[in-house]
């Protein structure tokens, strides 16, 4: 006799690619007519922009680039000049063979921007970008549940709470703002460069919607009407929601990556700033499911043959945030610090026994006026390390969050730069769950008249289920005979009623 098993479907997202790539590009920038010759290069900055993502037949790709600004001191001693350029970037990640089409999430970071003079009228720029690509496909897993179970069949049913990624999508929105510096700020004459880091402050899944809000962290450097350079920071609030494809439970969580897709900032004749910034909010929705699986089965009165398989589910085990507090000495005799920027890279990981060592590298750049009043720039590479417990079969994804602007204080021979760098961490793994998929029942056994109806057994490390199965007893009979609510105590003597 074969016991029928019905099938239920469990839908989730399965990662096909989750990989970081680094790329470098170079470009030559020529001075336009009317600009004075280059004396010395002062500083360079970069802003990553995500233009498009594409799922190809054998790979996923993105195209975008970096907005670049280079500040130089003219040879004739006049006021500093700034050059702007666009450096295109394209990256590609290979997919496993026969991968069905899915969806992509991209996060880009500026690794560095270097500039040098090639001649009196030409500047060479080298820019480095890091990109984390995630490619996800929707997949279905089959869950087997027995139908019409005979009374003499014992089933070990286990509940597994599992957090699965259920949905991926994107919501684009525009930040269109008119800005004015406060009266306490020096009056601007010309923009030098600007950068935008959208930062989340809250996110929540509400049934079939994901709502999120945050601030657009706009950082600007400008020259005042008095000829000095100043930096200023704006926090521009935004609030958005996206319609989801399905409804989720109150346990659902959202993981959102924000990337600028375009960025414009203009300064008009009345000292007003006009910002236009398009942002792609790329979200992943996870939800907790309680899966009931038949892990084992037997019959005290007849032989049984099981068909089993292992259910493999890509699950999210944990999500949390860790804050790094960083101090970095940057060489330079500063009288006034004008601008501080830092570019964190994606952390490197090194696995050890039940642990992972995380190294977060980056670059800090400080623009300052020296004691003689000349504008100078100094940079410094930095690294921060942290060790975390980690199972060898788990995958740890770590992303830096650009949240607060760093500060640098002048000192003797160096400047001390300080900043707080949050790290978003997600631990995931393929959970392997045992599952009975079929059961063949033999003919009832002939009872042995000499068989005892009650035996005495000492509980060891085996589960009560295993004791019952090996004794051809039932769980309920053993519990009633020994007044048990759960598992027996170690070395407890048990009465085993034989069925």
Report the alpha-carbon distance of residue 358 to residue 428 in Å, rounded: 16
- Residue position matching structure tokens 């802003």: 47
Q: What is the DSSP string of 386-440?
A: EEEE--TT-EEEEEE---S--EEEE-SSEEEEEEEEEEEEEEEEEEEEEEEEEEE
**Which two tokens mark 441?**
């029942």
Report the alpha-carbon distance of residue 424 to residue 210 in Å, rounded: 19
Map out the domains of the chain with their CATH numbers.
Answer: 12-134 (no CATH), 149-298 (no CATH), 303-312+333-445 (no CATH), 449-499 (3.10.350)
Residue 84 vs residues 46, 49, 90, 193, 232: alpha-carbon distances, Å? 10, 15, 20, 9, 20
Query: What pLDDT tens digit does each residue of the chain (499 aa) get?
Result: 788 888 999 999 999 999 999 999 999 999 999 999 999 999 999 999 999 999 998 999 999 999 999 999 999 999 999 999 999 999 999 999 989 999 999 999 999 999 999 999 999 999 999 999 999 999 999 999 888 888 889 999 999 999 999 999 999 999 999 999 999 999 999 999 999 999 999 999 999 999 999 999 999 999 999 999 999 999 999 999 999 999 999 999 999 999 999 999 999 988 899 999 999 999 999 999 999 999 999 998 888 899 999 999 999 999 999 999 988 899 999 999 999 999 999 999 999 888 999 999 999 999 999 999 999 999 999 898 888 888 888 999 999 988 778 889 888 888 999 989 999 999 999 999 999 999 998 888 776 666 677 788 887 778 899 989 988 889 999 999 999 988 888 888 889 888 6
Report the alpha-carbon distance of residue 465 to residue 300 in Å, rounded: 12
214, exposed or middle or buried, with CB in 10 Å at 0-12, 13-18, 19+?
Answer: buried
3-class SS at 300?
coil
**Which two tokens mark 252?**
């659902």
* Long-range contact set of residues 115-118: C-beta below 8 Å, sequence gap at least 24: 115/41, 115/44, 115/70, 116/41, 117/38, 117/40, 117/41, 117/72, 118/28
Q: What are phi and psi of 63, to 5 degrees?
A: -130, 145
């Amino acid at each position: 006799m074969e016991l029928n098993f019905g099938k239920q479907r469990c839908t989730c997202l399965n990662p096909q690619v989750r990989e970081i790539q680094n790329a470098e590009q170079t470009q030559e920038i020529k001075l336009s007519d009317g600009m004075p010759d280059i004396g010395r290069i002062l500083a360079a900055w970069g802003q990553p922009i995500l233009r498009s993502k594409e799922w190809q037949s054998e790979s996923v790709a993105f195209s975008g680039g970096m907005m670049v600004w280079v500040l130089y001191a003219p040879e004739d001693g006049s006021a500093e000049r700034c050059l702007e350029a666009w450096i295109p970037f394209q990256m590609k990640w290979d997919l496993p063979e026969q991968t069905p089409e899915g969806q992509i999430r991209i996060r880009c970071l500026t690794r560095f921007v270097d500039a040098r003079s090639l001649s009196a009228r030409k500047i060479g720029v080298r820019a480095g970008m890091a990109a984390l690509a995630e490619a996800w496909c929707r997949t279905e897993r089959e869950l087997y549940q027995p139908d019409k179970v005979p009374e003499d069949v014992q089933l070990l049913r286990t509940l597994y709470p599992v957090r699965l990624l259920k949905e991926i999508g994107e919501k684009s929105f525009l930040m269109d703002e008119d800005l004015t510096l406060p009266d306490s700020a020096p009056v601007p004459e010309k923009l030098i460069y600007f950068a935008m880091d959208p930062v989340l402050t809250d996110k929540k899944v509400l049934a079939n919607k994901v709502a999120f809000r945050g601030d657009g962290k706009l950082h600007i450097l400008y020259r005042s009407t008095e000829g000095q350079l100043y930096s200023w920071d704006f926090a521009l609030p935004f609030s958005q929601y996206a319609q989801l494809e399905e409804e989720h439970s109150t346990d659902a969580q959202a993981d959102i990556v924000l990337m600028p897709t375009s960025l414009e900032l203009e300064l008009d004749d009345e000292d007003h700033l006009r910002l236009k910034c398009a942002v792609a909010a790329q979200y992943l929705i996870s939800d907790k499911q309680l899966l009931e699986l038949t892990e084992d089965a037997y019959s005290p009165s007849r032989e049984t043959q099981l068909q089993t398989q292992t259910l493999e589910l890509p699950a999210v085990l944990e999500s949390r945030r860790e804050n790094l507090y960083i101090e970095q000495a940057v060489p330079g005799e500063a009288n006034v610090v004008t601008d501080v920027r830092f570019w964190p890279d994606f952390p490197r990981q090194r696995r050890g026994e039940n642990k992972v060592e995380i190294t977060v590298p980056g670059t800090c750049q400080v623009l300052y006026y020296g004691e003689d009043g000349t504008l100078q720039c100094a940079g410094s590479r930095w690294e921060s390390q942290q060790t975390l417990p980690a199972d060898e079969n788990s995958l740890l994804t770590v992303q830096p969050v650009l949240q607060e602007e760093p500060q640098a204080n002048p000192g003797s021979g160096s400047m001390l730069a300080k900043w707080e760098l949050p790290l978003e961490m997600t631990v995931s793994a393929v959970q392997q769950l045992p599952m009975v998929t079929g059961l063949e029942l033999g003919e009832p056994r002939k009872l042995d008249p000499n068989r005892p109806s009650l035996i005495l057994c000492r509980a060891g490390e085996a589960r009560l289920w295993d004791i019952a199965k090996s004794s051809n007893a039932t769980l309920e009979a053993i519990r009633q005979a020994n007044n048990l609510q759960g598992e027996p105590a170690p070395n407890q003597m048990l009465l085993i009623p034989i069925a």
